[in-house]
Structure 1
Amino acid sequence: MSDFTQFQIPDWLSSQHLKGMLRGIEKEGLRIKPDGYLSRKPHPKKLGSKLTHPFITTDYSENLLELVTDPRLSPKDTLMVLRQLHVLVYRALPEEELMWPLSMPYMRSAEDEDIPLADFGSSNTGKLKTLYRSGLGVRYGRRMQSIAGLHYNLSFGDGFFKSWQAQTPDANELTLTEFKNDKYLGLIRNFKRLTSLVLYLLGASPNVSPCFLAGREHDLILQNDSTYYKPAATSLRMSRLGYTNSVQENLDIRYNNLPEYITGLRRAIQTPHESFQELGLDDADGNPIQINDHILQIENEYYSPIRPKQIAERGETPTEALERRGIAYVEFRAIDLDPYSDIGIRLSSACFLEIMALYCLLNNSPDLLPAEDEELAINLERVVNEGRRDNLHILNNGQEVPLERWMVEHLNNMLPLAALLDAHYGGNDYRAALALMQGKAIQSESTISAQVNADSERLGGMWQLGFTLAQQHRDTLLQQAFSPNTQAKYEVLAEKSVLQQAEIEKVETEDFMDFLQQYR
């Protein structure tokens, strides 16, 4: 791993430079029924169209809600919007339904038909979205796709990068976009180097339901008759049992420069894969079951703990957007839902991710090559499966080092950045968040994953814990009142989204099979 030990805040950097930082959250959550089965009801009508609504959609399944905040100027503001979206959802859900608060689904059935594909309507755009999900299901099984997580999106202002570029002697021949691309990719490489830290501190999925494991080889042990676990696990969601993909392990997509990243991703979209070819493109009746038989059907299928992003315009692919306008923000994806928060994330976690992002951005970030990537993959496996085991070691530049010491060193290095962020935003949320994480690093019993294991044991299993928390969260959220303005704003958005979907369906008249042939 790269040498973070010498970290010092650059002389030119002041809290003023943090102006223009923006963040947004995408948060998934399964709709469940009190009997432990997933909801089979369609997306609530009151919430508008999931194809066109800017903030409320579904992810993989019809019952897997996805709530998306717009970019905001502070973490508190972002969490406030996320809370509003949760309130809207609970006001619209059928009375008995709840949002499952854990990342790992609790399942009473291992059958695919209990995980209905999200239906985006009759337009070609909508049908393609559903077909993509069908492809994921035939490739990896639908159970894996029903795992929920949270993405934290973050960008820094142009003023920050302009000041930095002005202080960088060999950067004056670069455009601002090129300079930003370079720095954001440095952040991404360093975040990959520190993913194990995030999974230890924020991991919240140490156990799973038996149905989730049906037909799969595993080494989990029974916690009780309805729950399997690993005693020292942090995030099984990020383990080989969770949301991972063996086909993608040898893709060698690198983050050392943007053209290289784009080329790697496109190569995977254009390369057929033997096992996906065997599945066939269409079923026996000639209905398509996957978009194509390539390693990736589309770019979003590539699974990585962090991604460079640019907002795509209509008809543009993610890599085209990146190629034309560079990196606009970074998407942190390795984050489990926090089951103890009614919105899946606490302010302390959000603040910590921002401190860490700044730390990754400002630190020296050498190229990340396959040998180091392999070392990081070994560390990740150790931490997700047994991160809370006493005296666990991880690899650092080929040397075995104690995980605790490694974490404490990094967290201590981040202190001046927490102070800088507090100076910009006022208060001490960032320093408090960092102090909390320092405590967790040396006291594994205070991590979220340890709490989930202890409470599952105390209450009699994962289902009892999730169901209890889900009911508490619903009751808390339904007590929130909206101002008439806020209420009206969301009602208009829902109505508008329905009209927009109807408009798209009116315009897109081409036969879907012809449309798909062109797309393929």
Structure 2
Amino acid sequence: MSQPHANTGFVVPTWLSESLLKGTLRGIERESLRMQSDGYLSKQPHPPALGAALTHPHITTDYSEALLEFITPPHQSIQKALTDLADIHAVAHEHLPKGERLWPMSMPCMLDKEEQNIPLAQYGTSNIGRFKTLYRHGLAVRYGRRMQTIAGVHYNLSFSDALFEQLQQNEQDPALKNLSFQDYRSQRYFGLIRNFIRYTPMVIFLLGASPTVCGSFVLDREHDLQRLVAGALHLPYATALRMGKYGYQNSAQKQLGIRYDDLNGYLSGLEKAVKQPYEPFTKLGLDNAQGEPIQVNDHTLQIENEYYSLVRPKQTPQGNETPSQALKDRGVGYVELRSVDVDPYCAIGITEHSAAFLEVLALYCLLCPSPYISEQEQARIELNQANIVANGRADDATFDTGHGVMGVRDWLNQHLSQMQALAQMFDQSVDSTLYTDALALMNTRVQDPEQTLSAHVIKDMLEQGGTWALGAHLAEQHAKVYDKHELSLEKQHYFDDLVYMSKHQQRALEQSNLISFDEYLRRFRS
């Protein structure tokens, strides 16, 4: 069912109309560390005034107690999603412990020499809450705690069923045309995913904002980073170190070979990974000398969420469904674009232009031919990504297309040019110039890499005098934005109610424990 690779320029399908884009939905997840006034990671527990992290739908924690995660529901416009995200930031900021700020960058603030001082997220005494903390403990013994303090933005996106219906009606591949609608939509989303993996270097170059790391992040670790200023390390032409070898890596997953050919193949690969023991993790042991569990199991993945990827197929789980069960039952409902750095210059971590660019790129990925990714192409993709992460802004940076090597900026120009018509159609669907403005901004970054976010971070870090100095400066600016942000009375009541409801739900879970955690874990492991 793969399609031939097209060397010709992209042409917008004649059947595509702006009305088909009106049903596009987007939701945003933004992660942010809490930073103490001295620049170090917060040691304080999750603020009680924000409710229970286990059950709050919009304000939770990721790996660490100090790593907040803000989640919007899906919205019909970028502006509504960003307004929602701004509301959540303002609420969180209001209830931070005294002196704390939201750290504005993807790579972490200063970390203690002792990794154990990075606190694991705590979710109470229910079995599910203790399980979530144990999973994080497992990540710590497998990969170390420092790596888990990296933050990002996840952009969740779905296109309308009407668009997929038109796509199937005009499908040229008989095998695809005869699929059920659910299976066809899933197959097309997987085509989008394969192309997004191919074009992730665009996101890294244009939205990358992590060309530096604090020296405390790579403490006692070999690296080839260069000193920039006052404890800050960098590579001169780097774009997004978060997306390279200094970012979130999982060597155990390299040998999994999970493929994105179709939903069934993806799910079977994931199932194998969560059931298959991995010798290095077996050697770590399941429990410590006192008999306390230190990881959920010794499998390649403790649970499905441990699988790290640039983009994920998603379906909203119902009840106690796992993500895989939801996908198996109802197919792919949306995609989660996971390669986006936090924008340190934006108080909520992502601008409307970045969001609009991601949506145009996703539509481009959906509509372009998307052959299966061979092992040879996968190796080329990884080399291209590593090159743009470490050296993307260099004048002589190149990109291997598989049909020949070209300059990175030429490659970027080619695709941005071909995306222009899609941006215009998006504009028509919302009666604005947002999407073409977004592409124009991305074009300026290609024409002059000094206009990229990553170049600005290096320049400003030199001016401010280091990672903490720049981060603290921006965090203070953002704090003023949050202070000025006004919540409607209705929204204020909504968030107040969620504090009470989330705590009530957590207590109910804790009171409903019918078996001990030891038994709960034994059943999961077996």
Q: Deviations over 1:306-365 (max 9, x none)?
A: 000011123221111111110010000001000000000011100000000000001111
Contact persistence 1:103–1:336 (CA under 8 A): yes
Aligned to 1:23: 26
Question: Matched residue of 1:34: which SS?
Answer: coil
Matching residue's letter, 1:464? A
AA at the equivalent of 1:413: Q
Give the secondary structure class of the aligned counterpart of 1:388.
coil
Pick which of 167-176 and 369-378 moved more.
Answer: 167-176
- What residue in structure 1 maps to residue 157 of structure 2? 154
Correspondences of 1:87-126 after superposition (within 5 Å): 87-126=90-129
In the TM superposition, residue 250 of structure 1 has moved relative to its aligned partner by 2.0
Alignment of 1:163-202 (within 5 A): 163-168=166-171, 170=174, 171-202=176-207
Deviations 1:450-476 (A, max 9, x none): 000000011111111100000110111
Equivalent residues of 1:23, 1:73 under 8 A apart: yes
Q: Cα offset for 1:106?
A: 1.8
3-state SS of the aligned residue for 1:351?
helix
Give the deviation of 1:4 after TM superposition: 5.9
What's the counterpart of residue 509 of structure 2? 504
Contact map agreement 2:182 2:331 (CA 8 A) in 1: yes
Residue 278 of structure 1: aligned partner: 283
Whole-angstrom CA distance in 2 between matches of 1:294 and 1:374: 25
| 1:76 aligned residue (74, 79, 100) | 79
Aligned-partner Cα distance in 2 for 1:147–1:17: 37
Deviations 1:54-93 (A, max 9, x none): 1000000000000000000011110000000000001111
Identify which of 49, 52, 69 aligns with 1:49.
52
What is the identity, as a one-letter code, of the residue corresponding to 1:174?
Answer: L
Name the structure 2 match of 1:411: 416
% identical aligned pairs: 46
| In structure 1, C-alpha distance between the alignment counterparts of 2:61 and 2:7, rounded to whole Å | 39
Partners of 1:407 and 1:441 within 8 A in 2 = yes
Residue 307 of structure 1 pairs with residue 312 of structure 2: yes
Tell me the CA shift for residue 172 of structure 1: 4.2
1:350 is aligned, of 350, 355, 364, to: 355
In the alignment, what sits opposite 2:137?
Answer: 134
Match of 2:400 in 1: 395
In structure 2, list runs of 5 or more residues that go unmatched: none
SS in 2 for 1:35: coil
Are the equivalent residues in 1 in contact too, given 2:357–2:438 (CA < 8 A)? yes
**1:97-143 superposed Cα distances (whole Å, 9 cap, x missing partner):** 00000000022413222211000000011011001000000000000
Query: Which residue in 1 is equivalent to 2:451?
Result: 446
1:87 and 1:341 mapped to 2: Cα distance?
13
2:334 equivalent to 1:329? yes
In structure 1, C-alpha distance between the alignment counterparts of 2:382 and 2:230, rounded to whole Å:
32
Write the distance in 2 (CA, Å) between the matches of 1:172 and 1:372.
27
Q: For 1:294 and 1:370, how far apart are their aligned partners in 2?
A: 24
**Counterpart among 222, 225, 244 of residue 230 in structure 2:** 225
Q: 1: distance between equivalents of 2:215 and 2:113? A: 9
Q: Secondary structure at the match of 1:294?
A: coil
- CA–CA distance in 1 between the matches of 2:235 and 2:20? 44
The residue number in structure 2 matching 1:341 is 346
Q: Judging changes above 3 Å, is the alpha-carbon distance between structure 1 residues 2 and 147 closer, same or farther for their aligned structure 2 residues? A: farther
The 8 Å contact of residues 238 and 390 in structure 2, kept in 1 or not, is answered as yes
Which digits, 9 at most, give the CA deviation of each residue in 1:210-267, with x for residues without a partner?
1111111100011123111111000000111111122211211110111110111111
Cα distance in 2 for residues equivalent to 1:398 and 1:250: 27
What amino acid does structure 2 have at the position aligned with 1:222? R
* 1:119-174 Cα distance to aligned partner (Å, 9 max, x none): 00000110110010000000000000000001000001111111221222524421
Deviating more after overlay: 242-251 vs 409-418 = 242-251
Question: How much has 1:197 moved relative to structure 2?
Answer: 0.8
Render the CA deviation track for 1:348-402: whole Å, top value 9, x for unaligned.
1000000000000011111112110110000011000111111211211152211
Paired residues of 2:22 and 2:430 also in contact (CA < 8 A) = no
- What do you get for the CA RMSD once the two structures are aligned? 1.1
TM-score, with normalisation over the residues of structure 2? Answer: 0.97
- In 1: Cα distance, 2:315 partner to 2:397 partner: 38
Alpha-carbon distance in 2 for matches of 1:201, 1:176: 35
Distance in structure 1 (CA, Å) of the matches to 2:97 and 2:453: 30
| Larger deviation, residues 485-494 vs 444-453 | 485-494
Is 1:482 paired with 2:475?
no
Partner Cα separation in structure 2 for residue 88 and residue 477 of structure 1: 8
* Cα contact 1:203–1:448 (8 A) shared by 2: yes
User: What is the one-letter code of the residue matched to 2:496?
Assistant: E
What is the letter of the counterpart of residue 253 of structure 1?
I
Identify which range, 416-425 or 154-163, moves more after superposition: 154-163
Contact 1:4 1:363 in 2 (8 A): no
Do structure 1's residue 470 and structure 2's residue 475 form an aligned pair?
A: yes
Residues 111, 118 of structure 2: 8 Å contact kept: no
CA distance change for structure 1 residues 304 and 509 in 2, over 3 Å: closer, same or farther?
A: same
Aligned length: 520
Secondary structure of the equivalent of 1:505?
A: helix
